[in-house]
A and B are shown apart, each in its own frame.
Chain A
Amino acid sequence: MQLGSEAVASDDSHRELEQEFLTFTLGPEEYAIDILKVQEIRGYDTVTAIANAPKFIKGVINLRGTIVPIVDLRIKFGIGTVEYTPFTVVIILSLAQRVVGVVVDSVSDVIGMTPEQIRPAPNFSSQVGAAFIRGLGTIDERMLIVVDIERLMLAPEMALVDEATA
């Protein structure tokens, strides 16, 4: 009995530390972002192109009266197949007073991970700057790239924010 109740207690404390992540795929890679930054998930709709914007900024959409820019992460990171079908998914992110949509290959699921489950990423060069990778998470056989999506989207290289305010 004693042992059992202790086990339950430690399980609870674990759950408190646990953070929930939304995982999505880009090509063969699986990424995880903080679920609290996700506002909603919707299908890809016609976008209005913006002149002289980088290729990965597809344009803007009308999200219930708000003008929201759409970024195609597949183009930005150069992975996955860039095609727009009825199944193409846009994750609407709600970041520091901004709303941004990102196009990904597919959304997988929501998982909980404790900080111990996230290992610091080794130094390597990639399209996603190492500064934006919080670490690598392991769930069974899967490796999840945990991205600090807020920092990434508001970084100057995403060209989503005026330089003066960035």
Chain B
Amino acid sequence: MAIDMSQFYQVFFEEAAEHLASIENLLVSMDVDAPDAEDLNALFRAAHSIKGSSGTFGFNDMTEVTHVMETLLDMVRKQEQPLSSGIVDACLEAGDVLRNLLAAHMGEEQADAEAAAAVARRLHELCTPGQQDVAPPAPEAAAPVAVGASRYEIRFRPDDASRQRPESIDNLVDELGRLGRVLSFDRDGAVGDQPWRIVIDSPQALDVFAGIVDFVAESGSVSVREFDDGALGVPQTGDDDEAYGFFEPMPADGAGEQEAYGFFETGATAEGNGDPQLEPSAEGDEEVADDGSYGLFRSPAAQASVADDEAPDGSYGLFAQGKPAQAVGAAVPARIHAAAATSEPAAVAKNAGGGEKKPVTARGGGDSSIRVSVEKVDQMINLVGELVITQAMLTQSAEGLDPALYERLMNGLVQLERNTRDLQESVMSIRMLPISVVFSRFPRVVRDVSKKLGKQVELKTIGEATELDKSLIERISDPLTHLIRNSLDHGIESPDKRRAAGKSESGTITLKAYHQSGNIVIEVGDDGAGLNRDKILAKARERGIETSDSMSDSDVWQLIFEPGFSTADQVTDVSGRGVGMDVVRRNIASMGGRVDIDSMCGVGTRMTVRLPLTLAILDGMSVGVGGETYIIPLNYVVESLQPGPNMMRSVSGVDSLIQVRGEYLPVISLREYFDVDGACTDWRKGIMVILEADSTKIALFVDQLIGQHQVVIKSLEANYRRVAGISGATIMGDGRVALILDAAALVGQSRKTLAVAA
């Protein structure tokens, strides 16, 4: 049964990344002394899901690490082993290693096999005490690998006697474990006619294994062969498709475990001590659906609710128990939070089966979410925009009708208008994600960095539900991380210093997000030492930046955004190299936002990042020139005024300057700039719009102001090309296209012309 597994890889990558993120969150937020049982279960489930899915796809390096991690977590959750900070640290480290392995499978990084082995060993050591009555841990993690070992593949059919006695198989595995490193053990011989398969690294000779396996195998069924490459490390998965037993019904190994592992128990993990012929448990039975169907990676929680529904052929209910709203790298799929909470997970799975490549994340519990490509969402937004225009057109045409005669039509139109507006709002909200997606990764950053620096820091987050556009979410993460590291390193003092200053030893970093007049504001505040004005000024002078003692505080604080600026006395690996703050400012500026700093010596520092809610929408002022309408981005507009008779000043006979409150500003006539016919030429009849960009002001001469709108930005370049002075286009309420002015370029243009003139 050849099936292209690669189409599921992306699903696995995303889900694994999500599980890793939730493991990290759970670990960081866990109270070591009194862990919440539910959290421990969730932790175990996440580790278990990764193990199961990575095994299915043959990413055995990940399986190995997660297996030991899972064993440890299982012991912790069964209270066989108390949770310790050592365990938390080890699991966090394991999470990092897994992330690295994941990235390696995605082809982004080099896999660090040594780190993986090291972390597996560490986890294994942690689970050794109190280990008597649970399933034996994977022997591969601890067994030493001798230099010069070769890899062998042993296939055999167990005889009836050993099928009845699972211990004999365990003994076999132990025995083999003494000879070398057992990499995988597939007991897919449930049906009886499939050979079991063991892969082992060992320095022993080939025939030794046959002798051992003979004890439990049917006579003549043992075959041992040496892998040609003999390479140690990641087990090869190329030739062992059938070994994973995708399509053979398989019993759940219900003996030692509470949950049935269902279909995809990979033998690679030597998991459990269940007798292969044990009567399948109730849950397991349903899992064993018709040939060809498969219910991948259901978490135990979701399992119960899905168990009754047998999945139909070819359908898949992938990766239940996903944590919704988790941004996964730069991958395209956006998430849609669907309100359709009560739909049966199996029903969702059925829909997904119809050739749809994007997986459906079904959740056993209340809410559910689906992955949809951003492209589809954008297309929907476009169509809704069209609908709004059509609706406006209908309303307009109906205005001439007698309301008494066409009452029902009129009522219908009113309803249409309301529905369209609601539809538009909800469609726009699809692209919006809560900022908690970004905030959730900072507890880890704070924890790691503060530990490294020997500081005690508490992170408070406020306003995590504040929503902003997905594209911004992806881009805001790095700058914010940088600001937080900066606060940790430069802001919060060491506990000694804090005590000396009369503060509590533990510092606080506050992350706060809220909406303010069409912007999203994110504050990163600390109660640390505050910025040192004298130090910054001294450093600036050292670097040859022009300064004066009379500079205002806010001007001084802006100096730290200069490239290469650092006041750190020594370079640490956290910060101090002087790259960063300028990058932060540049990144935020490229999103149309800005950073402000408030600081008070000894009290703390607050960095305020202001961003537009979305990159797709712009606050604009529409102006008329001749018959054309142009949009000026509102954040460049300082004021607009009607020029008085004495305000225009001419230079060499041409009116080219306007005097506004003692300032002379260059005038650009939009009519001349864009060569528009029929526009107003008389200064006194038009309007001057004062624009400011890069602290340069110009006056833009237009015929009239039309209004202020939020406009959806459309690319002009998609089907046309760049046009000087135009940054994009939008569609107005009447369906016509209006061009958006590139205010920064217009201002820059005037500066160039002035320079030429001078």
A residues lining the B interface (CB < 8 Å) = 46-53, 59-62, 64-69, 98-100, 159-162, 165
User: How far is it, in angstroms, between the C-alpha of A64 and the C-alpha of B716 when the chains are bound?
Assistant: 14
Q: A69 near B719 (CB under 8 angstroms)?
A: yes
Chain A, residue nearest B384 (CB): A65
User: How far is it, in angstroms, between the C-alpha of A59 and the C-alpha of B735 when the chains are bound?
Assistant: 15
Contacts A48-B738, A52-B724 hold; do A64 and B719 have CB atoms under 8 A apart? no
User: How far is it, in angstroms, between the C-alpha of A65 and the C-alpha of B195 when the chains are bound?
Assistant: 60
* B660 CB, nearest partner CB in chain A, Å: 26
Chain B, residue nearest A98 (CB): B719
Q: B720 near A69 (CB under 8 angstroms)?
A: yes
Q: B723 near A52 (CB under 8 angstroms)?
A: yes
* A5 CB, nearest partner CB in chain B, Å: 40
User: How far is it, in angstroms, between the C-alpha of A127 and the C-alpha of B726 when the chains are bound?
Assistant: 30
* B468 CB, nearest partner CB in chain A, Å: 23
Q: B714 near A46 (CB under 8 angstroms)?
A: no
* B422 CB, nearest partner CB in chain A, Å: 19
- Judged by a CB distance under 8 angstroms, whether B739 is at the interface is yes
Q: A50 near B723 (CB under 8 angstroms)?
A: yes
Contacts A51-B673, A51-B675 hold; do A66 and B736 have CB atoms under 8 A apart? no
| Selected A-B contacts with CB under 8 Å, 18 pairs | A48-B628, A48-B736, A50-B739, A51-B723, A51-B739, A52-B724, A62-B736, A64-B382, A64-B383, A65-B731, A67-B720, A67-B729, A67-B737, A69-B720, A98-B718, A98-B719, A159-B721, A160-B721
* A76 CB, nearest partner CB in chain B, Å: 15
Contacts A52-B674, A67-B737 hold; do A60 and B720 have CB atoms under 8 A apart? yes
Contacts A48-B628, A51-B725, A52-B675 hold; do A67 and B738 have CB atoms under 8 A apart? no
User: How far is it, in angstroms, between the C-alpha of A51 and the C-alpha of B716 when the chains are bound?
Assistant: 13
- Judged by a CB distance under 8 angstroms, whether B717 is at the interface is yes
Chain B, residue nearest A50 (CB): B723
Q: B715 near A67 (CB under 8 angstroms)?
A: yes
B residues lining the A interface (CB < 8 Å) = 381-383, 385-386, 628, 673-676, 714-726, 729, 731, 735-739
Chain A, residue nearest B673 (CB): A51
Q: A100 near B382 (CB under 8 angstroms)?
A: no
In the bound complex, residues from chain B placing their C-beta under 8 Å from that of A47 are 737
Contacts A48-B628, A51-B674, A51-B675 hold; do A65 and B385 have CB atoms under 8 A apart? yes
Q: A67 near B718 (CB under 8 angstroms)?
A: yes
* A40 CB, nearest partner CB in chain B, Å: 14
Q: A51 near B726 (CB under 8 angstroms)?
A: yes
User: How far is it, in angstroms, between the C-alpha of A52 and the C-alpha of B673 when the chains are bound?
Assistant: 9
Q: B714 near A160 (CB under 8 angstroms)?
A: no
In the bound complex, residues from chain B placing their C-beta under 8 Å from that of A49 are 628, 676
In the bound complex, residues from chain A placing their C-beta under 8 Å from that of B736 are 46, 48, 62
In the bound complex, residues from chain B placing their C-beta under 8 Å from that of A162 are 717, 721-722
Chain A, residue nearest B629 (CB): A48
In the bound complex, residues from chain A placing their C-beta under 8 Å from that of B673 are 51
Contact of B716 among A52, A60, A99 (CB under 8 A): A60
* A50 CB, nearest partner CB in chain B, Å: 6
Q: B675 near A67 (CB under 8 angstroms)?
A: no
* B508 CB, nearest partner CB in chain A, Å: 47
Q: B718 near A66 (CB under 8 angstroms)?
A: yes
Pick from A46, A64, A160 the residue with the most CB of B within 10 Å.
Answer: A64
Q: B383 near A65 (CB under 8 angstroms)?
A: yes
Closest 4 CB pairs of A and B: A65-B382, A51-B674, A48-B737, A162-B721
Contacts A48-B737, A48-B739, A66-B382 hold; do A160 and B723 have CB atoms under 8 A apart? no
Contact of A65 among B386, B674, B719, B738 (CB under 8 A): B386
User: How far is it, in angstroms, between the C-alpha of A52 and the C-alpha of B670 when the chains are bound?
Assistant: 12
Contact of A60 among B383, B674, B735, B737 (CB under 8 A): B737
* A64 CB, nearest partner CB in chain B, Å: 5
Q: A53 near B723 (CB under 8 angstroms)?
A: yes
Additional A-B contacts beyond A65-B381, A67-B715 (18; CB < 8 A): A48-B628, A48-B737, A50-B739, A51-B726, A52-B674, A60-B720, A60-B737, A62-B737, A65-B383, A65-B385, A65-B714, A65-B731, A67-B729, A67-B731, A69-B720, A160-B720, A161-B721, A165-B721
Contacts A51-B674, A51-B723, A159-B721 hold; do A64 and B386 have CB atoms under 8 A apart? yes
In the bound complex, residues from chain A placing their C-beta under 8 Å from that of B718 are 66-67, 98
Q: B735 near A62 (CB under 8 angstroms)?
A: yes
* B551 CB, nearest partner CB in chain A, Å: 42
In the bound complex, residues from chain A placing their C-beta under 8 Å from that of B738 are 48
User: How far is it, in angstroms, between the C-alpha of A159 and the C-alpha of B381 when the chains are bound?
Assistant: 30
User: How far is it, in angstroms, between the C-alpha of A53 and the C-alpha of B722 when the chains are bound?
Assistant: 11
Chain B, residue nearest A51 (CB): B674
In the bound complex, residues from chain B placing their C-beta under 8 Å from that of A99 are 719
In the bound complex, residues from chain A placing their C-beta under 8 Å from that of B731 are 62, 65, 67
User: How far is it, in angstroms, between the C-alpha of A61 and the C-alpha of B723 when the chains are bound?
Assistant: 16
In the bound complex, residues from chain B placing their C-beta under 8 Å from that of A100 are 719
In the bound complex, residues from chain A placing their C-beta under 8 Å from that of B385 are 65
* B703 CB, nearest partner CB in chain A, Å: 15
* B731 CB, nearest partner CB in chain A, Å: 5
In the bound complex, residues from chain B placing their C-beta under 8 Å from that of A52 are 674-675, 723-724
Chain B, residue nearest A60 (CB): B737
In the bound complex, residues from chain A placing their C-beta under 8 Å from that of B381 are 65
Q: B714 near A67 (CB under 8 angstroms)?
A: yes
In the bound complex, residues from chain B placing their C-beta under 8 Å from that of A60 are 716, 720, 729, 737
User: How far is it, in angstroms, between the C-alpha of A126 and the C-alpha of B723 when the chains are bound?
Assistant: 29
* A159 CB, nearest partner CB in chain B, Å: 7
User: How far is it, in angstroms, between the C-alpha of A51 and the C-alpha of B736 when the chains are bound?
Assistant: 16
User: How far is it, in angstroms, between the C-alpha of A15 and the C-alpha of B385 when the chains are bound?
Assistant: 43
Pick from A50, A59, A67 the residue with the most CB of B within 10 Å.
Answer: A67
User: How far is it, in angstroms, between the C-alpha of A161 and the C-alpha of B673 when the chains are bound?
Assistant: 22
In the bound complex, residues from chain B placing their C-beta under 8 Å from that of A50 are 720, 723, 726, 739
User: How far is it, in angstroms, between the C-alpha of A46 and the C-alpha of B721 when the chains are bound?
Assistant: 20
In the bound complex, residues from chain B placing their C-beta under 8 Å from that of A51 are 673-676, 723-726, 739
Pick from B628, B718, B720, B729 the residue with the most CB of A within 10 Å.
Answer: B720
* B377 CB, nearest partner CB in chain A, Å: 13
User: How far is it, in angstroms, between the C-alpha of A59 and the C-alpha of B719 when the chains are bound?
Assistant: 12
In the bound complex, residues from chain B placing their C-beta under 8 Å from that of A46 are 736
User: How far is it, in angstroms, between the C-alpha of A56 and the C-alpha of B462 when the chains are bound?
Assistant: 56
* A90 CB, nearest partner CB in chain B, Å: 14
Contact of B719 among A53, A67, A159, A165 (CB under 8 A): A67
User: How far is it, in angstroms, between the C-alpha of A49 and the C-alpha of B726 when the chains are bound?
Assistant: 12
In the bound complex, residues from chain B placing their C-beta under 8 Å from that of A98 are 718-719
Chain A, residue nearest B379 (CB): A65
In the bound complex, residues from chain A placing their C-beta under 8 Å from that of B676 are 49, 51
* B218 CB, nearest partner CB in chain A, Å: 60
Pick from B673, B676, B722, B731 the residue with the most CB of A within 10 Å.
Answer: B731
User: How far is it, in angstroms, between the C-alpha of A7 and the C-alpha of B676 when the chains are bound?
Assistant: 63
User: How far is it, in angstroms, between the C-alpha of A68 and the C-alpha of B385 when the chains are bound?
Assistant: 16
User: How far is it, in angstroms, between the C-alpha of A107 and the C-alpha of B383 when the chains are bound?
Assistant: 28
In the bound complex, residues from chain B placing their C-beta under 8 Å from that of A64 are 382-383, 386
Q: A66 near B722 (CB under 8 angstroms)?
A: no
In the bound complex, residues from chain B placing their C-beta under 8 Å from that of A160 are 719-721
User: How far is it, in angstroms, between the C-alpha of A60 and the C-alpha of B730 when the chains are bound?
Assistant: 11
In the bound complex, residues from chain B placing their C-beta under 8 Å from that of A53 are 723
Q: A61 near B737 (CB under 8 angstroms)?
A: yes
Chain A, residue nearest B717 (CB): A162
* B134 CB, nearest partner CB in chain A, Å: 58
User: How far is it, in angstroms, between the C-alpha of A162 and the C-alpha of B385 when the chains are bound?
Assistant: 28
In the bound complex, residues from chain A placing their C-beta under 8 Å from that of B737 are 47-48, 59-62, 67
In the bound complex, residues from chain B placing their C-beta under 8 Å from that of A59 are 737
